[in-house]
């Protein structure tokens, strides 16, 4: 018994001491992390040596919005821990590299995750870079179509002998859950305006409607023509020949790519390194590599012109949601807050609103549109720059801009409205779940999820949807100086490419983000201006845990992919977007301005 008590006492003392030590270590780590977080610079300084190649690729992510927050759980699930640069800094980095004596050329190597319009902007910047006389070389191993599209701008494209090239055209498919939800007992009731408003179809149908098919084919065809035209000009191959190549296979071995003139030559990795030495890059590590700097690191050298006059570049990227929103969403309150700050800032002479959004909450869109109107009334020009998509709610917030610039392949329009009501009445019956209660008034339980909405309740919601649509048409008519009947004729929820949108008056001209900034400066009648971004780079990274999550990693070496091919994660990502879409349906009135269309691989 005595030994037993000794054992118990020793165990208790050991447990206590272990707890004390653990607590001490945790507190020490906590203090160290706070110290590290508070002292860590946003932009680590680096010295660029001469005869360096600027390397663009290795899984680089290009977003419109600067990195301004730590990665959320959603962003960790939906994309890998890859280097990221905002589009404006990426383009400015390439422009700076053309003048930088330490940069001897550019190597495109590996995937760049970006939308079609963003890749198009990068191609334009690279075309301008080539005028400096410095070479642009592309290296592809197993190239996706988007990777090849960017690589095709290079003066020379080299492929790995064991690799392949994908060039197969565009496609757009959706999963349709209509019958699935019915079989589960989940009811879906829809209110909408616009026969082309197809965002609700995945929840109500088991196939694509003819109206949706019509506009999808138009969008894919227009975007594909742009890709063919750009590759044709860069590779000196007729679009008709490229189309024949695509329809012959879609995926080509490296040798076939050379024979078809998609690629200029084949090199092993060591032979590519020797080729870079020949182009002037300083050999390093016993000539097994060459002096290089990644675009994500080089972008730290970008600094915008200092001036007392400011141009605010405001980003609206992601689904529009009510409230503040997550970093990958357009929070109506957050964006309205930025615009109010701008309106009270006497230094800001013009605004560029960069939109890359399919829309979302009707209420949040209206909150943002009001702030844009107030800017206009104060005499501050607002130039809208459209990215890959600025449709439905994305177009709602654009319509009041002084001028609207888009890419020819931008997805826009979708002037239509819908409401969704989910209920689990049949599901409750299947699992013998009872729901009971009482109410004081006829509509006290309006749109409750435990039952199907009655016809008169649906009629009430439809009346609300009709009013929002009428407001939408009115805002477009006013902002674009168009007759309401004409707006209604091109509305109906129909999605347009930028090319068609310019023809029907929804867009003023074609141009990229840089063009929009230059136009805003012209409209403000100022010779020089400093660019300020909303949100700004690294804004909101004050929390030490956030900084821990977003800590800088060592740069990946050339040939090292930062993306993963984990099939489990790919499966999760494939369905995560649909779950995110459902999560974003948080409009307080249950009414949405959303466009489901997307072209590209991002």
Q: Cα dist. 292→50, 240, 449 in Å?
A: 10, 38, 58
Mean pLDDT, range 393-399, rounded to an integer: 97
Mean pLDDT, range 100-121, rounded to an integer: 96
Q: Which residues face 273 on adjacent strands?
A: none
pLDDT at 602: 54
CA proximity to 475, closest of 580, 565, 388, 400: 400
Mean pLDDT, range 15-38, rounded to an integer: 45
Give dist(CA 511, CA 382) in Å, integer.
Answer: 15
- Highest mean pLDDT among 68-82, 428-442, 550-564 belongs to 428-442
Give dist(CA 111, CA 561) in Å, integer.
Answer: 8
pLDDT at 47: 85
Give dist(CA 151, CA 155) in Å, integer.
Answer: 9
**pLDDT surpassing 90 at residue 578:** no
**pLDDT surpassing 50 at residue 256:** yes
Q: How many other C-beta atoms are found inside a 10 Å radius of the C-beta of residue 536?
A: 11
**pLDDT surpassing 50 at residue 107:** yes
pLDDT in tens, 292-308: 999 999 999 999 989 99
pLDDT at 38: 41
**Percentage of the chain surpassing pLDDT 90?**
75
pLDDT at 537: 76
261 or 46, greater pLDDT: 261
Q: How many other C-beta atoms are found inside a 10 Å radius of the C-beta of residue 73?
A: 8
pLDDT at 557: 53
**pLDDT surpassing 60 at residue 6:** no
Mean pLDDT, range 231-252, rounded to an integer: 96
pLDDT at 327: 87
- Kindly name the residue from 392, 408, 409, 520 that is annotated as catalytic: 392
> Mean pLDDT in the chain?
86
- CB of 383 within 8 A of CB of 516? yes
pLDDT classification of 32: cutoffs 50, 70, 90: very low
Residue 107 per-residue DSSP state: E
pLDDT at 459: 95
pLDDT classification of 580: cutoffs 50, 70, 90: low
Q: Cα dist. 14→6, 8, 10, 17, 26 in Å?
A: 12, 10, 6, 5, 18
Name the CA dihedral angle for 553, 555, 557, 561, rounded to a multiple of 10 degrees: 60
The 3-state DSSP class for residue 386 equals: strand
Give dist(CA 372, CA 213) in Å, integer.
Answer: 34
pLDDT classification of 542: cutoffs 50, 70, 90: very low
CA proximity to 271, closest of 288, 246, 251: 288
Q: ∠594-362-357 over CA atoms, to 5°?
A: 45
Based on the residue annotation, tell me whether 349 is a catalytic residue of this protein: no
From its phi and psi, is residue 475 left (phi > 0), alpha (psi between -120 and 50) or beta? alpha
572 or 262, greater pLDDT: 262
For 292, residues 6+ apart whose C-beta sits below 8 A from its C-beta are 52, 53, 54, 55, 107, 281, 558
**pLDDT surpassing 90 at residue 105:** yes
Q: How many other C-beta atoms are found inside a 10 Å radius of the C-beta of residue 339?
A: 24
The dihedral through the CA atoms of 487, 200, 172, 117 has a sign that is positive
Domain topology for 46-168+252-303+552-582: 2-enoyl-CoA Hydratase; Chain A, domain 1 (3.90.226)
Give dist(CA 465, CA 226) in Å, integer.
Answer: 36
Beta strands in 443-487 (DSSP E): none
- CB of 188 within 8 A of CB of 202? no
pLDDT in tens, 314-355: 999 999 999 999 888 999 999 999 999 999 999 999 999 999
pLDDT at 335: 96
Give dist(CA 586, CA 329) in Å, integer.
Answer: 12
**Angle separating helix axes 332-344 and 362-377, nearest 10 degrees:** 10
pLDDT in tens, 186-204: 999 999 998 888 889 999 9
Element (H, E) at 307: none
Q: Percentage helix, strand, coil, to 5, in the chain?
A: 45, 20, 35
**Phi, psi for 107 (deg, rounded to 5):** -115, 120
- End-to-end CA distance of the chain: give it in Å, rounded: 70
Assigned token pair, 199: 């965002």
pLDDT at 67: 82
**pLDDT surpassing 90 at residue 34:** no
pLDDT at 571: 56
pLDDT at 182: 95
pLDDT at 91: 97
CA proximity to 590, closest of 497, 479, 474, 460: 460
Q: How many other C-beta atoms are found inside a 10 Å radius of the C-beta of residue 593?
A: 33
Q: Cα dist. 464→31, 193, 484, 511 in Å?
A: 54, 11, 19, 36
Element (H, E) at 16: helix 2-39
- CB of 272 within 8 A of CB of 264? no
Based on the residue annotation, tell me whether 392 is a catalytic residue of this protein: yes
481 class by beta-carbon count within 10 Å (0-12 exposed, 13-18 middle, 19+ buried): exposed
pLDDT in tens, 157-197: 999 999 999 999 999 999 999 999 999 999 999 999 988 88
- Kindly name the residue from 79, 111, 134, 197 that is annotated as catalytic: 197
pLDDT in tens, 481-530: 999 999 999 999 999 999 999 999 999 999 999 999 999 999 999 999 99
Give dist(CA 302, CA 88) in Å, integer.
Answer: 10
Beta strands in 377-492 (DSSP E): 382-391, 403-406, 411-413, 417-423
Choice among 7-21, 92-106, 319-333, 339-353 with the minimum mean pLDDT: 7-21
pLDDT at 540: 54
pLDDT at 558: 57
pLDDT at 460: 94
Give dist(CA 413, CA 198) in Å, integer.
Answer: 13
């Amino acid at each position: 018994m005595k030994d037993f008590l000794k054992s118990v006492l020793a165990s208790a003392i050991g447990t206590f001491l272990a707890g004390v030590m653990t607590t001490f270590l945790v507190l020490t780590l906590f203090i160290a992390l706070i110290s590290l977080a508070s002292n860590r610079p946003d932009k680590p300084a680096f010295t660029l040596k001469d005869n360096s190649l600027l390397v663009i690729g290795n899984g680089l992510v290009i977003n419109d919005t600067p990195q301004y927050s730590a990665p959320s759980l959603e962003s960790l699930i939906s994309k890998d821990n890859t280097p990221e640069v905002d589009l404006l800094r990426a383009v400015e980095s390439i422009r700076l590299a053309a003048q930088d004596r330490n940069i001897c050329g550019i190597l495109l190597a590996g995937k760049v995750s970006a939308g079609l319009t963003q890749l198009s902007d990068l191609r334009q910047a690279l075309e301008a870079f080539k005028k400096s006389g410095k070479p642009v070389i592309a290296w592809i191993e197993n190239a996706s179509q988007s990777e090849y599209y960017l690589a095709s701008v290079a003066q020379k494209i080299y492929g790995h002998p064991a690799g392949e090239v994908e060039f197969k055209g565009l496609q757009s498919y959706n999963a349709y859950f209509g019958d699935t939800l019915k079989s589960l007992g989940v009811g879906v009731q829809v209110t909408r305006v616009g026969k082309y408003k197809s965002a609700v179809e995945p929840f109500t149908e088991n196939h694509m409607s003819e109206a949706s098919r019509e506009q999808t084919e138009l969008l894919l065809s227009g975007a594909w023509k742009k890709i063919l035209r750009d590759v044709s000009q860069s590779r000196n191959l007729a679009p008709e020949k490229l189309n024949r190549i695509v329809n012959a296979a879609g995926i080509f071995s490296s040798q076939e790519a050379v024979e078809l003139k998609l690629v200029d030559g084949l090199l092993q990795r060591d032979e590519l390194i020797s080729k870079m030495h020949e182009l002037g890059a300083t050999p390093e590590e016993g000539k097994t590599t060459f002096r290089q700097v990644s675009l994500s690191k080089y972008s730290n050298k970008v600094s915008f012109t200092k001036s007392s006059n400011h141009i605010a570049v405001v980003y609206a990227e992601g689904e529009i949601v009510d409230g503040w929103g997550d970093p990958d969403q357009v929070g109506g309150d957050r964006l309205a807050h930025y615009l109010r700050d701008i309106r009270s800032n006497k230094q800001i002479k013009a605004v560029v609103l960069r939109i890359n959004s399919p829309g979302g909450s009707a209420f949040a869109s209206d909150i943002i549109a009001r702030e844009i109107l107030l800017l206009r009334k104060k005499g501050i020009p607002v130039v809208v720059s459209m990215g890959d998509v600025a449709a439905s709610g994305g177009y709602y917030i654009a319509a009041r801009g002084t001028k609207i610039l888009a890419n020819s392949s931008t997805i826009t329009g979708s002037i239509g409205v819908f409401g969704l009501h989910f209920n689990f009445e049949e599901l409750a019956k299947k699992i013998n779940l009872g729901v009971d209660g009482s109410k004081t008034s006829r509509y006290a339980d309006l749109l409750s999820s435990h039952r199907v909405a009655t016809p008169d309740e649906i009629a009430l919601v439809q009346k609300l949807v009709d009013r929002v649509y009428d407001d939408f048409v009115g805002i477009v008519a006013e902002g674009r100086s168009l007759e309401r009947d004409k707006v209604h004729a091109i509305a109906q929820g129909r999605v347009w490419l930028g090319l068609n949108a310019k023809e029907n008056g929804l867009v003023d001209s074609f141009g990229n983000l840089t063009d929009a900034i230059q136009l805003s400066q012209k409209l403000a009648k100022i010779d020089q201006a400093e660019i300020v971004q909303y949100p700004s780079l690294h804004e909101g990274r004050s929390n030490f845990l956030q900084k821990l999550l977003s800590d800088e990693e060592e740069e990946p070496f050339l040939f090292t992919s930062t993306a993963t091919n984990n099939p489990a994660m790919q499966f999760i990502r494939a369905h995560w977007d649909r779950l995110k879409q459902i999560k974003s349906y948080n409009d307080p009135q249950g009414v949405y301005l959303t466009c489901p269309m997307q072209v590209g691989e991002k």
